[in-house]
Structure 1
Amino acid sequence: MVMLEEISQLFYGAGEEVPGWEGSQEDLIVFAAKAFPGKAFCVVRQWILIDLIVTPDEKEKLTNLTLLPMTLFAHEVVLDSKGRFQPKMWVRSNFGVSLIYGCMFETKNTVYLLWGPGLRKEATLGAAFSMSA
């Protein structure tokens, strides 16, 4: 069972500060379009990269599925290319596939564009995936 303290630490506890993309939103989108042509993207701010605490068995299963033990939570959606999320909404991604240049977090279906500074933290699977819209 996920404890409130665990979720509170994920949202409000200390973490490693990570810079993300420091240029304009337009330049970030152009950069992502070159790196991931045709892939859906979502520009986010106030984000947290979550390194998932997993067992060796869970890590092996994720590796076999070519997934990282990592997910993303963002307090603010700026722009979603497919209109799935409205501006100012929050979003939590699925498992990651790659983290590119420190500013693009890729999942199977979407590239999350990390605009501005964020945090990197650790959390259990239960805490990270306890959030749902």
Structure 2
Amino acid sequence: MATLDEIAQLFYGAGEEMPGWPGSQEDLITLAAKAFPGKAFCVVRQWILIDLIVTPAENEKLTHLGLLPATLFAHEIVLDSKGRFQPSMWVRSNFGRSFTEGCMFETKSTVYLLWGSGQRKEATVGAAFSMSA
């Protein structure tokens, strides 16, 4: 179980500043459509790419499943192509499959389009997945 301090560090602690997509929302969506044709997408802002702290055995299991030891949290949804989320809601993804072009975080069902700057941080699996709607 994650401690309150771990969760606070995830939200408010220092992280590595990352640029995300600097251009227009339309250009970002076009880029994603070419890279991931037909896949659902979610444009997000104020995001945190979370590198999960895992054991070597956990990392091996994730790799075997084709997953990254990473997840994404976004404070603001701008647009969800499938209408699952309303604008201005927050979202936390499942484990990632790929991180492409510095602005596209792919999971099994969705490509999260990182519009504008965000942060990269480390956290335990417990802290990262303690957030649920």
Q: With the length of structure 1 as denominator, give the TM-score of the two structures.
A: 0.99
- Does residue 98 of structure 2 align to residue 102 of structure 1? no
AA at the equivalent of 1:13? G
1:40 aligns with: 40
Structure 1 unmatched runs, 5+: none
Q: Distance in 2 between matches of 1:45 and 1:87?
A: 11
Task: Extract structure 1 runs of 4+ deviating beyond 6 A.
Answer: none
1:27 aligns with 2:27: yes
Counterpart amino acid of residue 93 in structure 1? S
Q: Which residue of 2 aligns with 1:50?
A: 50
SS of alignment partner, residue 8 of structure 1: helix
Paired residues in the alignment total 133
Provide structure 2 residue ranges, at least 5 long, that are not aligned to the other structure. Answer: none
Q: Deviations over 1:86-109 (max 9, x none)?
A: 000000000000000000000011
* CA distance in structure 1 between the aligned counterparts of 2:10 and 2:85, rounded to whole angstroms: 22
SS, match of residue 33 in structure 1:
helix
1:17: which partner in 2?
A: 17
- The Cα offsets for residues 23-55 of structure 1, whole Å up to 9 and x where unpaired, read as 000110011001110000000000000000001
CA distance in 1, matches of 2:129, 2:22: 28
RMSD of aligned Cα (Å): 0.4
TM-score after normalising by structure 2? 0.99
Residue equivalent to 1:80 = 80
Give the Cα–Cα distance (whole angstroms) in 1 for the partners of residues 57 and 84 of structure 2: 33
Q: Percent identity?
A: 83
